[in-house]
Amino acid sequence: MTTTHKLISLKELHTFRLPYRAHAVVELTSADDLAQLKDDYYVLGEGSNTIFTEDFACRILRVAISGYECSETEASYELRIGAGENWHKLVLKTLKDGMPGLENLALIPGSVGAAPVQNIGAYGVEAAQFISSVEAWDRKKKEFVSFAKNECGFAYRDSLFKQNAGRYVITYVNFSLPKNWQPNLSYGALAGLPNDASATEVMDTVITIRNSKLPNPAVLPNAGSFFKNPVISVQHFATLVARFPDLPKYTVDDNHVKVAAGWLIDRLGLKGTTCGGVAVHDKQALVLVNKGGASGTDLLKLAKLIKDKVYEEFAIELEIEVRLLDKKGLMSA
């Protein structure tokens, strides 16, 4: 079933809460309706990784497909989850039902359908580790399709669905949670937990850490991490660490390391920097916040200022992680 709302405010539909409007918003509760829907829409989940920078002239399709199906094999629990389900609620339910695995990804905002697009990750874990397949509507071929994990093009904060933005409407995500669970304590902040920590203990620790570092969008509007943590060559890192010995890194492979974008921004003294109603959060430099009265112009100016200063000092080109939209659709980062 679909429901259409005309000239609706976008303020409540994205967590950065800029005061713009959309021409129309269509709410989708059944995947079957996609075949009959006029193909002139932008797909939106819970709006936690999307920022509208001006009034949006196109239709928005809000995917609100629900569903929680569970079966099991000898080795794993198999889940089929509607794309409109809330991600954190899924994490809570799987743990409540005795199916650990997703606990490191607790409290990440957004919908289940958005998880494979961004390949959400936190505290040493990525969603791709547990996704077995993704079901979607192919807007180009006008048919329902299914992608096995190895067909999804998963990478750091990336996927086939992100690379082909707008082509696929994700309807269901299938997960495989191994029964031989072990806690993943590889991330530094979790290293203090005992090796036999329960999934609930891991989740509670993750939630505590996230709440201490990241502002609650319901209190201080934001879209989470605004920039990706950049991946650079080991040679580039060696040059930088000679100047900045405390620059943290995470090994990606023999030739590349990942560095913390928040550290780079903080090192430049940009915490608290404002542009109109938008500011760099004073506790987490990777997050930009709406302090009130903000505009899309404010946001874009501050983002450019940060990118320019980081490149000037570190020769690193920061990539924007959130999805920015102008009146016609996705903007280039």
Active site residues: 157, 225, 321
Q: Which of 135, 142, 136, 113 is nearest to 35 (CA)?
A: 142
264-287 as b/e: b if 16+ CB within 10 A: bbbbbebeebebebbbbbeebbbb
> Hey, what are 322's tokens?
């959130």
Q: Minimal CA–CA distance to 306: which of 285, 324, 325, 291?
A: 285
Q: Is 61 helix (H, G, I), strand (E, B) or coil?
A: strand
**Token pair in block for residue 177:** 């949670």
Burial code (b: 16+ CB inside 10 Å, e: under 16) for 225-246 equals: bbbbbbbbeeebbeebeeeeee
DSSP string, 202-214: HHHHHHHHHHHHS
The identity of residue 161, as a single letter, is: F
Cross-sheet strand order for the sheet of 222-225: 222-225, 287-290, 278-280, 274-275
- 176 has which bridge partners? 78
Question: Residue 96: phi, psi to the nearest 5?
Answer: -60, -35
